[in-house]
């Protein structure tokens, strides 16, 4: 008989409980049965405090599987204004809490110096810190019929020479892409997954997997069958939940869907 691989871990991004706190993300992940947590470093002071994250991980017995660097417009001042400094600090947090992956977005076009050396800089960071920097697929910004390329060297990491990539299915929906084709094109470079869904809207929706038009179930089963051994992180938007019980129902639905389709 062949060796049965370990089941894929399903972890929760702390962004999935927003506007709840980072602490409430750890608490929800532990109580609802997730396998770990991805820390979204953001405007919540706790999310950027390495000591606090270690304490939350220990208290809830929830491993931190990945650290999402502060790359959003609203986090431009978190850990200073130097984008490379943020990525060094993300690796520091990852090492301190035992995470294996740093998730990073490509630069905005107006970050010209950062963008110019980004691909080579990511490779240098991986070599320096001995950790995976998984660059995330993004999408063109659209308003009506107008489209704006907000990222450089581009929103599609497939086109760049990154060793490791995060594939986010809400972002593939917004970009009008096929995550199955993207995963096939990435091959072994697919290192990390943000599972969510979308309807193809110009907005980045982060719907519960199975509620939109992305082939979330087929994607999960296919990448697992193809030997994917990275982390699968639920990153959904629960801001419209009427109350805590509805938010928890959404988190449980996302967990059950992901476990079902990612099982070997």
Q: Which long-range contacts (CB under 8 A, 24 or more apart) does 112-117 make?
A: 112/152, 114/83, 114/84, 115/152, 115/153
> For 37-72, how does the pLDDT look when each residue is reduced to its tens digit (9 = 90+)?
999 999 899 999 999 999 999 999 999 999 999 998
**Residue 157: DSSP 8-state:** G
Beta-strand pair 36-40/165-168: unpaired
The domain limits of the chain are: 10-262
CATH node for 10-262 = 3.20.20.150
> For 222-231, how does the pLDDT look when each residue is reduced to its tens digit (9 = 90+)?
999 999 999 9
Helix runs in 106-187, H state only: 112-116, 118-129, 169-175, 179-186
> For 152-164, how does the pLDDT look when each residue is reduced to its tens digit (9 = 90+)?
999 999 999 999 9
Say if residue 24's pLDDT is above 70. yes
The token pair at 129 is 């810190």
Residue 167 and residue 186 in contact, taking contact as beta carbons nearer than 8 Å: yes
Helices 22-32 and 244-262: crossing angle in degrees, nearest 10, is 60
**Residue 151: DSSP 8-state:** B
pLDDT at 52: 98
pLDDT at 39: 98
Distance set, CA 14 to CA 1, 123, 131, 170, 199 (Å): 39, 27, 21, 16, 23
């Amino acid at each position: 008989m062949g060796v049965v691989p370990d089941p894929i871990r399903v972890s929760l991004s702390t962004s999935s409980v927003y506007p709840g706190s980072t602490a409430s993300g750890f608490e929800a992940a532990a109580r609802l049965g997730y396998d770990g947590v991805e820390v979204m470093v953001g405007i919540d002071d706790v999310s950027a405090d390495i000591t606090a994250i270690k304490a939350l991980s220990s208290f809830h017995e929830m491993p931190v599987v990945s650290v999402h660097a502060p790359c959003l417009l609203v986090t431009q001042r978190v850990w200073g204004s130097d984008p490379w400094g943020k990525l060094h600090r993300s690796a520091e947090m990852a090492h301190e809490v035992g995470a294996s992956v740093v998730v990073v977005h490509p630069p905005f076009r107006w970050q010209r110096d950062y963008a110019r050396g980004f691909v080579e800089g990511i490779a240098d960071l991986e070599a320096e810190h001995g950790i995976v920097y998984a660059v995330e697929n993004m999408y063109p910004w659209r308003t009506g019929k107008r489209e704006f390329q907000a990222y450089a060297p581009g929103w599609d990491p497939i086109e760049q020479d990154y060793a490791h990539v995060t594939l986010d299915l809400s972002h593939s929906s917004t970009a009008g892409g096929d995550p199955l084709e993207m995963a096939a094109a990435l091959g072994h470079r697919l290192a990390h997954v943000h599972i969510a869904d979308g309807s193809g809207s110009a907005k980045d929706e982060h719907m519960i997997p199975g509620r939109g038009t992305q082939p979330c179930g087929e994607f999960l089963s296919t990448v697992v069958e193809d030997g994917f051994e990275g982390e699968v992180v639920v990153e959904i938007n629960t801001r419209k939940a009427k109350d805590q019980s509805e938010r928890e129902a959404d988190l449980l639905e996302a967990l059950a869907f992901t476990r079902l389709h990612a099982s070997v």
